[in-house]
Amino acid sequence: MGTRNYRRKTSHSEHGAGDGGRTGSWRVERPVLDPSLCIPCKRNKEACFICWLFCPDVVISRTIPPTINLEYCKGCGICAEECPTKAITMVDEAKFAEEDKE
């Protein structure tokens, strides 16, 4: 029978950033990353990325440092909850109100 290329016979879909709309517009808390606590930043090596894995909106990059697309981050706090080193803190959006106007 031989080996078949099953990829050609199946289809799948993957969700991506923005599939849920501009979720960042109703966020009440913003995730803020502290690179001094983040494992890939400290080791300058691709490692951990648990935040990337768990983010339901796929808005965290798998880069050094990880970046968060605030346009689509809904502020659920899962990344902060799952980060093993507590490198992500959820901060009240009101604290950024003035900053964002500039």
- CA dist., res. 101 & res. 99, Å (int): 6
Pick the closer one to ligand SF4 by CB: 12 or 76: 76
Residues 17-46 that bind ligand SF4 (CB under 6 A): 31, 33, 38-40
User: At closest approach, how far in Å is the CB of 63 from ligand SF4?
Assistant: 10
Supply the DSSP symbol for 6: G
* Residues paired with 90 in a beta bridge: 31
Q: Dmax of the chain from CA atoms? A: 66
The residues of the shown chain that bind ligand SF4, judged by CB under 6 A, are 31, 33, 38-40, 48-51, 55, 57, 59-60, 66, 68, 73-79, 83, 85, 87-88
